Amino acid sequence: MSPSAITNGYGNGNTNGHHDGVSNGHQAEALNLSIVGIGVEYPPYRVGPEALQTLADRYYPKSPALTKVLSVNRFTGIETRAAIGEVDHPLVNQPNAPSITELNAYFRDEGVRLSVNACRKAITEWGGSVDDITHVVSTTCTNSANPGFDHYVVKQLGMKSSVEKILLHGIGCSGGLAAIRTAANLALASIVSNGSFGEEQAVEPVYNILGWRHEILNDTEKDLGFDVDPLGWKVVLSPRVPQVAAAAVSPAFQSLMESLPELEDHGKIPSPAEFDWALHPGGSTILTGVETAMKLTPEHLRASYEIYMNYGNSSSATIMSVMNKLREMGEGKENVIACAFGPGIAVEMMALRRPRKLDGLSMEDVD
């Protein structure tokens, strides 16, 4: 659980967004889309791999299957994970696993609180008022109750009751980028229809959005997802996911670059190594697989590795944590590729540009 929020500025206005081989993309020409605030909020406690071993020893008899699970858990490369409590928390210290009802109650409390805090951080960085927010695009993989968690987040943030909410479901770890893409498409549609999107505001962008690519890989529905289980969501993850994901990145990157001619150098498409990469850290084999397939180095993926080692995979919100970490790491390459995979298997890819600085001024302010 690690809600993140992004405030997006589109055209002359703003909106707030938190995540048969059909594909689509959008080129950058005259998009004028920017991310103007990012907020990340993790739970306060940190637990290591030993926490699972402790709980297993307390409540479960030894078995070959459990021994294998605990072994895998020790060698994921994740040093700590964020949690709402420590290993002695009552939720995980009872004879039977918590019910969906109990989990839902915790999410309604803890999850909404974290989301509200993340949104407040993003809104503060943007510098605007919640009264100016017209649309909210959200996603979660943790809950599916109605009304959605976004209803409570909007209410606690004090937004207008007329704000238009869109809650994305069923998209797993690709949810963060899917939410940004959806918000961007909403903004573009509004600009086309009305000629503007809100009132003009001078806002320093965190990232400018150049374009994006969305694609569903054929015949991969059974490889990645969540199934409904009496105790909650049951992860579906086939052994071929890292290989499928790594193989899909290069075609997606090629298609995205072909839609962005302004990035070409004398007609030559830039190489993957010319970008910093904000890759959703779905697992160590995902990170190393994409690194190898795209001929990158760990430095290109430094933010993804950092988040993975210290927080693990927090599903849809994680890509925003990576994007935030990347900018906190100081100056890097001007252009960034954000990429995530979700059930379907879905591939989400987005090209971003950092605002350049010149003698302390943003290049956006230089005529």
Contacts for 94-103: CB closer than 8 Å, 24+ residues apart: 95/59, 97/231, 98/231, 99/231, 100/230, 100/231, 100/232, 103/232
Instruction: Give Cα separations from 210 to 23, 126, 184, 206, 349 (angstroms).
Output: 18, 19, 11, 13, 11
**How far is Cα 339 from Cα 174, in angstroms, rounded to an integer?**
8
**Annotated catalytic residue within 119, 141, 173, 339:** 173
C-beta of residue 9 within 8 angstroms of C-beta of residue 203: yes
CA distance 156 to 146: 17
Q: Would you call 173 a catalytic residue per the annotation?
A: yes
| Residues listed for the chain | 367
| Residue 147 burial (C-beta neighbours within 10 Å; 0-12, 13-18, 19+) | exposed
Block residue for tokens 């909007």: 154
Per DSSP, the residues of 124-154 read HHHT--GGG--EEEEE-SS---SS-HHHHHH
- Point out the residues that are catalytic: 173
